[in-house]
Amino acid sequence: MGKDKSKSKGKRRISIFMKSIPAIVIPIVLITVIACVAGYKSLTEAITQVYTESSLETAETAASMVDVEKLDDYLISGGVTEEYKLAVDEIENLCNTSGSMFIYVIQPDLSDYDHITFIFSTINSESTFSRYDVGYYRQTTNDDYKAKYRRLYEGASDYEIVVRDRGYIETDAHLTTMVPLKDEHGVVQGILCVQTQMSEITEKRNAYTRNMIIVLLVIVFVVVIAQGRYLRMVLITPIKKITEEASRFAAENKLPETRISDVVRSRDEIGYLAESISNMEEDIVRNVNALTSATAEKERISTELNLATRIQADMLPNIFPAFPERKELDIFASMNPAKEVGGDFYDYYLIDDDHLCLVMADVSGKGVPAALFMMASMITIANHAKTGKCPSQILHDTNMSLSANNREDMFVTVWIGILEISTGRLTAANAGHEYPVIRNADGKFELLKDTHGFVLGAYPGTKYKDYEVMLSKGSALFLYTDGVPEAVNKYNDEYGTGRMTDALNSRGAGATPHELITAVRKDLDKFVDGADQFDDITMLCIEYKGQQE
């Protein structure tokens, strides 16, 4: 916990107010920019329209002052005639009174409109520019002008407008209006142009931009201050209180004197958050108390289960070698429950000096109920076996005892055999248990598919049959529960009796019971490869060595 706190303290924190500034400023700036652009365009269009109408009116007036029929004569004479000078004076006077910068008449080169020739050229008296002489020949300004000259000469339009918003070459921003000069037959003989400076547009747009920037800054400042106060009142202060309460509860782990939902009374998401924090604190305290009680109970149950595991393990014979004084046989067994306690059990004991009883059983179910039924079954079988009964009679009598008060309908599968040590004769009976595995004289293990009777504990009065197997010197008997062949891997494949038999045979003819069970267990673990164990795994192996000289 200390390490996490130190890390959190080292991080730079940014307040909600600071984070909210971009969310406030950016929309305002965007809206203002959009408004500025729209206003900028509207202002430009409005002023341009005024200039256009005024310039067009001036152009029409100037056109009436020009004798179109004499344009060619003016070029030839070089503009020295009195009539030409009089027309120039009239047009120049109009240029000054109308506020135009230039009024001029041109004739384009009709072959490609790439050049123009000046016939008239007047200039405002306040201008510092100079006029063009009659007959001055130069290249057309650009392709836009060429296209407009062509449209006027071809009759495609009655006038053309060129707006040079940012100026061109030596002039400032200006607007040029062009009208065709037609003779009495309607043929265009020249073009009259009126150029008007548009300094007003630039000045007004600059003033407009400055004013909008000032307004924007004022709006942003006012909104940020107002929003900061509002956020502090409705958001930051309540959240700070909630944060402080959450930190206090994390450190003290006890309920506050006053619920945070009673301190923060907002009827919005903040109020819901405060209410949730209060409910969470109460739930945590309640759950911690319940968890503490449950943990104590679980520890008690775990202790009892561990004790039950030790008791169950102690009930099974687990000291090896089992009969160190008897050289005729060697026994080894193991039991691994799927839970703390299981329902599998094995047993072996001498009935007398020449008879050894072997038992392998599997109780239905798992856990404590199976363990209890296992103990009852194990004790009952031993009591009947030690009276000298044959295996089938032992199973019959045990079944009668277990069936008498079996209200939970539990049952147990049992394989039981009695080995006559002096001869190697094994008399056995099977109550629904797995087939035993025998190692024959050739040293190979194979399943002994004996006759199965019904399980014990289900139906009283069930009959069972004995069968006999002769064990020779070096023979071995391997007993197991279904937890071995039915073990599955992560692909849900079963281990099976085939793999089990192969694992037994892999150790060779002289392998001891301990080596055989170890071989099967290792092969089984390799097969399941970490998959969960769902059933008890129990194995018992006895090697018959015969009478020792």
pTM above 0.75, yes or no: no
Type of residue numbered 348: Y
Q: Where are the alpha helices (DSSP H) in 188-347?
A: 199-231, 237-252, 260-263, 269-315
pLDDT score at 3: 45
What tens digit of pLDDT does each residue of 153-170 get? 998 999 999 887 654 444
Q: Which residues of 66-83 are buried (b: 16+ CB within 10 A; e: fewer)?
A: bebebbeebbeeebeeee
Question: CATH: 3.40.630.40, 3.60.15.10, 3.40.50.1370, 3.60.40.10. Which one for 317-544?
Answer: 3.60.40.10
Contact of 338 with 331, CB cutoff 8 Å = no
Residue with tokens 């300094």: 199
- Each of the 549 residues of the chain gets a pLDDT tens digit; together they read 444 444 445 556 666 667 667 777 777 778 777 877 777 777 777 777 888 888 899 999 999 999 999 998 898 888 888 889 999 999 999 999 988 889 999 999 998 999 999 999 999 888 778 888 999 999 988 888 999 999 999 989 999 998 876 544 445 678 899 999 999 889 999 999 999 887 766 676 677 778 878 887 888 788 878 877 877 777 778 878 888 888 888 888 888 888 888 888 777 787 788 888 888 888 888 888 888 888 877 777 666 666 666 676 678 898 889 899 989 999 999 988 876 566 789 999 999 999 999 999 999 877 778 888 888 899 999 999 999 999 999 999 999 999 988 888 899 999 999 999 999 999 999 999 999 999 987 889 999 999 999 999 988 989 999 999 999 998 999 999 999 999 999 999 999 999 999 999 998 888 999 999 999 999 999 999 888 888 889 999 999 998 766
Contact of 456 with 494, CB cutoff 8 Å = no
CA distance 475 to 322: 18
pLDDT score at 415: 97
CA distance 371 to 378: 10
Dihedrals φ, ψ of 185, to 5°? -95, 5
Cα 416 from chain centroid (whole Å): 59
Tokens of residue 350, six digits: 């001498």
Question: What 8-state DSSP symbol labels residue 173?
Answer: S
3-state SS of 139-185 is ECCCHHHHHHHHHHHCCCCCCEEEEECCCECCECCEEEEEEEEECCC
Tokens of residue 103, six digits: 């009024």
Dihedrals φ, ψ of 99, to 5°? 80, 15
Q: Give the bridge partners for 127, in sequence order.
A: none
Sequence-distant (6+) residues with CB within 8 A of 234 are 266, 268, 270
pLDDT score at 263: 81
What tens digit of pLDDT does each residue of 208-259 get? 778 878 887 888 788 878 877 877 777 778 878 888 888 888 888 888 888 8
pLDDT score at 247: 86
Instruction: Indicate the fold that domain 20-203 takes in CATH.
Output: Beta-Lactamase (3.30.450)
Half-sphere exposure of 82 (CA within 13 A, CB side): 0
